[in-house]
Amino acid sequence: DAKTTQPPSMDCAEGRAANLPCNHSTISGNEYVYWYRQIHSQGPQYIIHGLKNNETNEMASLIITEDRKSSTLILPHATLRDTAVYYCIARLSGGGADGLTFGKGTHLIIQP
Amino acid sequence: KAGVTQTPRYLIKTRGQQVTLSCSPISGHRSVSWYQQTPGQGLQFLFEYFSETQRNKGNFPGRFSGRQFSNSRSEMNVSTLELGDSALYLCASSWGYRATSYEQYFGPGTRLTVT
C-alpha cells in the first residue's frame, strides 16, 4: 500500500462542508483511494473509494487530483454524528494478503 | 439489509481460558475477515475466510484460529488467553475475495477483557 499522510485533527462547524485532505504522492497507477471512518467504540465504516475520477455517494464525495498525488473527502453538510476518525488508504482493488491497515487518520470534530 | 453482527459484544475472561467469538456477515457476502484493534497497535489483520477456507493470515500466534461455515458465518477462537489479548475484535465482510471490489463492512466488534 502507498503511504498516506493526513492531518491529525480538524474542526468543522455543524451544517458546513467538511473537507478532509489526504496526501498519497507515491500512489501507483492501479491503487485505489479508500476512505473509512471510525466513530468512537464502533467498528470502522466504509465511506467511498475511487481510482481517477471524482466519486459521489449518499455519504460523501471524493475528489482526486489529476496527478493522483492527493485527494479530498467532502462531507457536504456535516452533523455532530460525523465526529469520528477518518482514514485514507491507498490500496490495490481487491487488497492483498494482509488485510486493511489504518494509519493514525484525521480526528474530525464537528462543533455545534 | 442487515449489517454485520458480532456476538457477544462484551466479554471478560481470565488468563489461560479460551474464548470463541462469532460473526454473521451481510447476506450474500462470502468473505469474512477478522481484525484485532488496540490503542497501541491499531488495527491488525488476523485472517480472512472465503468459501469456508482460510485464504490469508496475519502475523498472530497459533493460539488464534478461526473457521467459516457453509452459510458464511464465521467464528474465531483464542486459546490460552493472555493479558495482551485484551482488545476490540472486529469482523468485516465483503462480497468478493481480493480480486473484486474490496469495500469491507465491519461489525460493531467484541470487546474482550482478559484479567
Nearest chain A CA: its distance from B35 CA (Å):
8
Q: Grid coordinates standing for B81? A: 488467553
What pLDDT is stored for residue A21 in this prediction? 97
Contact A102, B43 (CB under 8 A): yes
- Mean pLDDT, residues A82-86: 97
Q: Does B60 touch chain A (CB under 8 A)?
A: no
Cα Rg, chain B, nearest whole Å: 13
Q: Which range among A2-6, A90-94, A104-108, B62-66 shows the weakest confidence by mean pLDDT?
A: A90-94
For B37-50, how does the pLDDT look when each residue is reduced to its tens digit (9 = 90+)? 998 888 888 999 99
Interface touch B108/A43, C-beta < 8 Å: yes
Interface touch A43/B33, C-beta < 8 Å: no
Interface touch A97/B56, C-beta < 8 Å: yes
What letter would DSSP give residue A5?
B
What pLDDT is stored for residue A98 in this prediction? 65
For A17-56, how does the pLDDT look when each residue is reduced to its tens digit (9 = 90+)? 999 999 999 888 888 899 999 998 889 999 999 999 899 9
- Mean pLDDT, residues A65-85: 96
What pLDDT is stored for residue B100 in this prediction? 45
B15-27 as b/e, with b when 16 or more CB fall inside 10 Å?
eeeebebebbbbe
Inter-chain CB pairs, A–B, below 8 Å = 61
Q: Does A58 touch chain B (CB under 8 A)?
A: no
Q: Is the pLDDT of residue B99 over 60?
A: no
Contact B4, B92 (CB under 8 A): yes
User: A45, A59, A92, A93: best mutation site toward chain B, by most B Cβ within 10 Å?
Assistant: A93
Looking at the partner chain, which of A43, A98, A104 has a beta carbon nearest the beta carbon of B58? A98
Q: Which amino acid is at B115?
A: T
Q: Is the pLDDT of residue A95 over 60?
A: no
What letter would DSSP give residue A2?
B
Q: Comparing C-alpha atoms, which of B35, B97, B32 is closest to residue B68?
A: B32
- Give B4's contacts in chain A (Cβ within 8 Å): 43
Q: Which amino acid is at B82?
A: E
For B2-34, how does the pLDDT look when each residue is reduced to its tens digit (9 = 90+)? 899 999 999 999 999 999 999 999 999 999 999
